[in-house]
């Protein structure tokens, strides 16, 4: 399985790809406020690339549980200068983490080449048109509710089948709007309208999503369920737990892992890939 876009081609048969997180936000749960300064954000982007990121995912609005939406103009003001500054000088594709069509459009004009929509095309009816117009890859994430209320007692009758149905419906909507099916990526949305046990069930049964024949993104980095397992530790103390969850995600079918700690997770992915594939990649064996 491969994913192609402007200036890149990911071959998922060879390795798991690493998506590095760059939040240009005030209130993201793990790194909110750290990279609001443009120069610090640019410096961090270069660090992520140096550490081995295959994609840089840039977002200007927090979608942590309980967060509120911000005006699209504010989101644009945060991320566009950063995207413009790094798009011409880094060697990896930039993804824009937004569910707003106008933000996506401006980010794509600025140099982003992937759209990461946490709403799975639910929140902005114009988003499919923008993605189709620019013919870029699209990450469709599963979410139940909206960030402000998604963790208020999320209920499912059958978790995995319901998420599979959601992806089928979202894919149909995307393709019907002109988005190429081979450019669609799915993300089961760990922590987005899921309880602690839901998250564990998704990771345990991640291979079931392979039935959709789409690349799978998993974002477990520093999330609350890891903190709970480790005794309610803070986000800064979840590195080892994240490493474990990333390794299991890879073994169970993840093609892309979205992480904050790129340098460490590159190493985790290399080991997990070697175990999963029965050895090093051909290029590493030479």
User: CA 159, 162, 166, 171 torsion: positive or negative?
Assistant: positive
pLDDT at residue 172 is higher than 50: yes
Q: Give the pLDDT confidence score for residue 175 in this predicted structure.
A: 98
Place of tokens 């790809």: 17
Q: Which of 1, 20, 13 is nearest to 283 (CA)?
A: 13
CATH homologous superfamily, domain 2-285: Dihydropteroate synthase-like (3.20.20.20)
Per domain, the residue ranges of the chain are 2-285
User: In this model, does residue 1 exceed pLDDT 90?
Assistant: no
Q: What is the pLDDT of residues 184-218, one digit of tens each?
A: 999 999 999 999 999 999 999 999 999 999 999 99
pLDDT at 181 over 80: yes
Active site residue 2: no
- C-alpha 277 chain-centroid distance: 23
pLDDT at 283 over 80: no
Q: What is the pLDDT of residues 108-144, one digit of tens each?
A: 999 999 999 999 999 999 999 999 999 999 999 999 9
Q: Round to whole Å and give the CA distance between 196 and 225.
A: 5
Instruction: Note if 270 is an active site residue.
Output: no
What are the tens digits of pLDDT across the range 30-73? Answer: 554 565 678 888 899 999 999 999 999 999 998 878 878 889 99
Helix extents (H) in the chain:
38-50, 72-87, 101-110, 127-134, 159-176, 196-204, 224-229, 239-251, 262-277, 282-285
What's the N-to-C CA distance of the chain in angstroms? 23
Q: Are 139 and 95 in contact (CB under 8 A)?
A: yes
Q: State the Cα–Cα distance between residues 34 and 263, nearest whole angstrom.
A: 18
> pLDDT per residue over 226-247, tens digit each?
999 999 999 999 999 999 999 9
Q: Of 223, 263, 267, 276, which residue is the catalytic one?
A: 223
């Amino acid at each position: 399985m491969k994913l192609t876009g402007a200036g890149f081609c990911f071959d998922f048969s060879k390795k798991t790809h690493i998506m590095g997180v760059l939040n240009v936000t005030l209130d993201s749960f793990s790194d909110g406020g750290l990279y609001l300064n443009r120069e610090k954000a640019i410096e961090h982007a270069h660090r992520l690339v140096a550490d081995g990121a295959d994609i840089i995912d840039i977002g200007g609005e927090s979608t942590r549980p309980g967060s509120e939406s911000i005006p699209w103009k504010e989101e644009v003001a945060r991320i566009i200068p950063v995207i413009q500054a790094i798009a011409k000088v880094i060697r990896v594709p930039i993804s824009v983490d937004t569910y707003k069509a106008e933000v996506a459009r401006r980010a794509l004009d600025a140099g982003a080449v992937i759209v990461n929509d946490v709403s799975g095309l639910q929140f902005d009816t114009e988003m499919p048109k923008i993605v189709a117009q620019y013919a870029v890859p699209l990450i469709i994430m599963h979410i139940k509710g909206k960030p402000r209320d998604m963790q208020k007692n999320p209920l499912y009758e059958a978790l995995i089948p319901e998420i599979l149905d959601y992806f089928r419906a979202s894919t149909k909507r995307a393709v019907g709007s002109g988005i190429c099916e081979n450019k669609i990526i799915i993300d089961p949305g760990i922590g987005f309208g899921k309880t602690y046990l839901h998250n564990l069930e998704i990771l345990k049964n991640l291979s079931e999503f392979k039935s959709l024949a789409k690349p799978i993104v998993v974002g477990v980095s520093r999330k609350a369920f890891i903190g709970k397992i480790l005794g309610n530790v803070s986000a800064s103390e979840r590195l080892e737990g994240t490493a474990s969850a990333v390794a299991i995600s890879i073994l169970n079918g993840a093609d892309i892992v979205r992480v904050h700690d790129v340098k460490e997770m590159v190493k985790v992915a290399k080991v997990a890939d070697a175990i999963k594939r029965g050895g090093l990649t051909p290029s590493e064996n030479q």
